[in-house]
Structure formats: structure tokens, C-alpha cells
Structure 1
Amino acid sequence: MDFWILAIRIIFLVQNTTGIPGNFSLLFYYLIVYQKECILKPTDLILMHQMAANTLIILSAGVPQTMAVWGLKQFLNHLECELILSIQRFGRSMSICTTCLLSIFQAMTISSRKFCWKDHIVKAVKYIGCYISLIWVLYILINFIFCVYALIKMDNKNVTRDFGYCSIIENDKIIEILYAALVMCPEFFFSVLIAWSSGFMIVILYRHKQRVQHTMSTHGSSRNSPEFRATQNILALMSTFLAFYTLSSISRGCIALLYNHSWWLMIVNQFISLSFPSFGPFVLMNHYSNISGHILVWIRNKIHFILF
């Protein structure tokens, strides 16, 4: 048992010490690109907000859970606990919304030559920042309402739920119905859209690969366009997200259905929920190999400017 507890402590520590620098590195990269070009591509803008959502998840869920498994128990009061859980729900909702937006936008982009969607893409590019801002405001309001309602009803229930770093009073039926209608159902709908758009992109990439192979056999050589390379990068991110999101939803459902669920189930759920925010940035870095180069060049130029 001591070995497994030590392993859990190391796993959560690794998730935090890799996830936070990974997300901040990508945010730093996009800020460098914005400083140079004064504008970000739509996919980069969406990814920047996704990294911000991932950072919120790690700071609000990963850090407290890591402190709890390392022995610091119940260090948050009820108000702080409700605030932390609201930030967790907010970050999760923003992560899936931005992922869905990224997947649909990229699917429209690579299919614009085949379908008459060019006008829609132009409008989407123009208002993409407004869409993301609206999503941020909407989910801030939703989670604010849940947090205030939980604080108002805190004296009416005695059943608590233990998270290790804090305990909260279980929600009543009204808040559960509202949460299912405003958060869980949209998340399920967004996950279906992600799966559909990812499958759509896979079909287009497969047909493109067949055309490339035909061109190589007739003309000798051919290169994939940057558009399709970007689609492959995003597909890698989408598949990673869907895999961890599905496992996380299953584990969350088990916790909700089982009244006396074990401590191990809570730990597994936390690990799965933190996996995409922690390791997702490295999926992008693996494909965008020039990210570290941009960051190092920027730091070198800044140091040279300060010194000389």
C-alpha cells in the first residue's frame, strides 16, 4: 500500500510540474507570435484560450489534489472549496467548448475548397474572438449562479462529499437538474460535434493522401500543404482530448451513481481529468517543433536588449 501511495504522489506531482510549464510555454509562444505579427491565426487564438482553460484546471484541481495526496488534508474551508470547484467546472467547460470550436473551424477550413463555405469561414475568422469572449462570459455566469446557490443552501443539508483537500455539502435535486441542463447536456453535444468533425477531417485527409500518392506515382514527388499538416496536428489533439474526456465522463458517472465509492475511484477520476490539460500541450509541441525555437530566440533577444 505504501508503494502505491508513493506512486500516486509522484504521478500527481509529475502532472503538475509538466502541465503548468507546458501550458504556459504555449501561451508564451502565442504571445510572441502576436507581438511579432500583431494578429493571431484563428486556430492559434482558439488554442491560446484552450491553454488558458487547461491552466485553470491544473491550478484549481491538480495543485490542491497533489497537496492532499502528499498529506495536507482539508486545508480549504467551505467557501474556498466551492470557489475552487466552480473554477474546475468552468475550466472543464471552457476546454471542451474551445476544443469543439477548433475542431469545427478546422473541418470547415479544409473542406472550403470542396463545399461552398468560404463566405462562412470569412465571417467565422472575423468574429472568432467575439465567439470565444461570449463563451467565457456565459460560463462565468453559469458557474457563478451555481456557486451562489450552493452557498445559500449550505445550512440546509448535512450530507457532505469529501475531495481530500476540502468537503462540500451535496447538491439538492434542483441544482443537479440545472447542472445537467446547462453543463452536462451541452458538453455531451459538444463531444458529439468533436467526434463528427474529427471523423469528417479523417475522411478528407484519407482522400487527400490517395491523391498525393497518385500524384507521386505520376510526377515523382509531392508535398502536403501546410493546411493539411495543420489538420493532422489538430486531429492528434482531438483524438487525445476525446480519449481522456470519455474516460473522465465514465469515471465521473461511476462516482455519481455509487454512493459509497472508494478513495481509489476518486484518485483515478482526478488523474484522468488532469491528463489532457497536463499532456495536451506536448501533443502540439511534438508537431509544432519550432515552438521552443521561437521562445528561446525571443528570450535571447530580450536579454541582449536589457544588457546592451
Structure 2
Amino acid sequence: MGARDLPFGMLFLSQVSIGMLGNFCLLSHYVHLYYTGCKFRPTDLTIRHLTVANCLVILSNGVIQTMAAFGVKDFLSDMGCKLVFYVYRVGRDVSINTTSLLSVSQAITISPNSSRWAELKAKLPRYIGPCNILCWMLNLMVDVMVPLHMYRSRNDKNITKKTDHGSCYSVSKGVVTKSLYAAFVFSRDVCSVGLLLWSSGFMVLTLYRHKQQVQHIRRSNTSSRCSPASRATHSILVLVSTFVSLCTVSTIIHICFTVVETPSWWLVHTSALLTGSFPAVSPYILLSHDSRVPRLCSGFSEERRPCFE
């Protein structure tokens, strides 16, 4: 292990520890809600899928990068490298898609009943499950190309155009093939980010109009608190802002990967850190804005009831 790898190793280790703790707490929160008989929101199912995808990214990418940064390399076979990076890419892409789906579904949830989304709003709880499953199925099929380029790290002088990922490396199959695949991934990510921006703008506009309508009520009642729907919307807006910021920087770095035939170790480690940042931070954003966290339901009832008042 070189001296330059030690800071990255510590960063990767901290990111994995903090990220897994946050996602475990978020999953435990939903398990507690289930056993205390609380009623779930339409977006809760998507958040659970997002949490699972985040855990896959942290475990597949973070753990491998941490061990590689601390000098533990060549512990994976070719099949191990293909499997680990396939799981990583599926988790990453599902995380992107479910974040987009989460933002869109929340925008539909808070839309006025008199709007054109009223009919879709009523059917949202029925559609949200299949949409999440579809995200997993599509990415499981699309990302089958990733293992074809991954191999175990070893000194192979015959391979010049490769990117070292620590324990594994990816081989470039040619500029044309690499550029086409990068263009496809970039287009897919742009569509997801476009949906995020549209739904976020819609939510901001809806909240602003609602605030204007109830402003006179808030003046007369100074103790009124933010509604659960508003808190959930604020949480998703912060989540989306964090995602878009990290995704923009990550996209720029991925473009550099396409342009540069042999990326430097600094570029590879920085890309891996950015990839794990959103899965590590997102559970804390969601927990900090969830009104059900500080005060959970108590007692038992035959019918599920909300955990917020």
C-alpha cells in the first residue's frame, strides 16, 4: 500500500461504515413501523427499494475499494470480479431510477385533487410496486454487458487499454464500442435526471401555491407545524438536490473515463468515492425529515393507522 492510497482507504472505510449504518437504521425504521401497525405512505415502498440498492452499491463498490486502497488485492477471481461489478452497476442504476421514481410519485401525491393528475393519484398505490420491480428487471438485463469487460487484476503486459479498479480491471473493447455504450448510459441517466428536475420543479411550485393559500391560517395559528406531506416533499427535494449535484460531477468524470484511455489512480478513486456518496448520505436525509421517527405509534389496533398527526 502506497502512502497516497492511505487517505483514500480511510475515506472509503468511513463511507462504508457511515453508509451501512444509515441504511440499516432506515430499514429498521420501516420494520418498526410495520410491527407497530403504522400505515405506510405511497413513497415508502420506493424508499425501501432505494435502500436495498444503496446497500448493494456500498457493499460491492465500497468494500472492494477499501480493501484495494489498504493493499489487499487479487483476492477475487475473474468470476468474482464480474459478479461484484455487475451487482454494483445494477445497484447504482436502480438507485438512480428509484430516486427518479420517488420524486415523480411524490409530485403526483401532493398534486391538487382538481388537477389532471387526480386520476393517476388515486391509482398510484397500485402502480408503484410494479414500477419498482420494472426498474430492477430492466437494469438486470441492460447491465449484463458490464461483466464482459471485467477481469481479475494481474500483470498482463499484452493489455494496454485498461482501467485499474484495485482488485479488478476493465478492458476497453475499442473506442467505438466504449463510446456507444457510454452514450447509451449517459442518455438513460439524462432521462432520469430530467424527470427529477421536472418533478422537483412541480413540487416546489405546488408547495409555493399551497403556502400562499394557507398563509392567513398560519398567521392566526403560530403553533401550526409543517404537514407530513410537506415534510416528505422537503425530504425528497433535498435528496434530489444532493443526487443531481453528485450525479453531475460523476457524469463529468465518466466522460473523462471515455476520453482518457488509461485513467489515473486519482480519477478512479475519486469516481468511486462519488459513487458511494449518495448511497451513504441519502438515508440520513430521509430519516431527518421523517415525522414518524421521533414519535412512533404505540399500542395495537386492528386497522393500520398513520404514525403522524
TM-score w.r.t. structure 2 length? Answer: 0.84
Q: Which 5+ residue runs of structure 2 have no aligned equivalent?
A: 152-157, 299-309
Answer yes or no: is 1:91 the counterpart of 2:83.
Answer: no
Give the structure 1 partner of residue 111 of structure 2.
Answer: 111
Question: What letter matches 2:133 in structure 1?
Answer: S
Q: Compared with structure 1, are the counterparts of its residues 135 and 31 closer, same or farther at alpha carbon in structure 2 (3 Å cutoff)?
A: same
Within 5 Å, give how 1:122-137 maps onto structure 2: 122-137=122-137
Aligned to 2:250: 248
- CA distance in 2 between counterparts of 1:268 and 1:163 reads 11
Residue aligned with 1:231, SS: helix
Q: Which moved more, 1:32-41 or 1:255-264?
A: 32-41
Residue aligned with 1:142, SS: helix
Q: Distance in 1 between matches of 2:77 and 2:170?
A: 9
| Partner residue, 1:301 | none
Change (3 A) 1:260 1:198: same
* Residue 9 (structure 1) shift: 2.1
Match of 1:177 in 2: 180
- State how far apart, in whole Å, the 2-side matches of 1:161 and 1:91 are: 21
How far off is 1:290 after superposition?
4.5
1:35 deviates by 3.5
Post-superposition Cα deviations, 1:116-175, rounded to whole Å, max 9, x if no partner, equal: 32211122211211111122122112223543x5489xxxx8333211121232234446
Q: CA deviation at 1:188?
A: 1.2
1:267 maps to what in 2?
Answer: 269
**Would the aligned equivalents of 1:15 and 1:278 in 2 still touch at CA under 8 Å?**
yes
Matches within 5 A, 1:1-308: 5-37=5-37, 40-147=40-147, 149-150=148-149, 158=159, 159-172=161-174, 173-174=176-177, 177-178=180-181, 180-181=183-184, 183-217=185-219, 219-221=220-222, 222-288=224-290, 290-291=292-293
CA 55–109 in structure 1, closer or farther in 2 if over 3 Å, else same = same
In structure 2, how many angstroms separate the alpha carbons of the residues matched to 1:28 and 1:140?
Answer: 26
In the alignment, the residues of structure 2 paired with residue 145 and residue 288 of structure 1 have an alpha-carbon distance, to the nearest angstrom, of: 38
Q: CA offset at residue 190 of structure 1?
A: 0.7
What is the alpha-carbon distance in structure 2 between the residues aligned to residue 144 and residue 239 of structure 1?
30
2:43 match: secondary structure: helix
**CA contact under 8 A between 1:19 and 1:277: conserved in structure 2?**
yes
Q: Are 2:231 and 2:291, in contact at CA under 8 Å, matched by a contact in 1?
A: no
Q: Which has the higher helix share?
A: 1
Q: Deviations over 1:11-70 (max 9, x none)?
A: 111101110121122112222323343863221100000000000000110000000111
38-47 or 83-92: bigger deviation = 38-47
1:79 Cα deviation after fit: 2.2
Cα drift, residue 224 of structure 1: 3.2
Aligned residues of 2:164 and 2:265 also touching (Cα < 8 A): no
Partner of 1:306: none
Gaps of 5+ in 1: 298-308
Q: SS where residue 124 of structure 1 aligns?
A: helix
Q: Is the 8 A contact 1:86 1:144 kept in 2?
A: yes
Partner of 1:304: none
Q: For the residues of structure 2 that align with 1:30 and 1:198, how far apart are their CA atoms?
A: 25
Give the secondary-structure state (helix, strand or coil) at the position aligned to 1:72: coil
Query: How many residue pairs end up in the alignment?
Result: 290
The alignment's C-alpha RMSD in Å is: 2.8
Q: Does the aligned pair in 2 maintain the 1:240–1:276 contact within 8 Å?
A: yes
Which range is displaced more, 49-58 or 24-33? 24-33
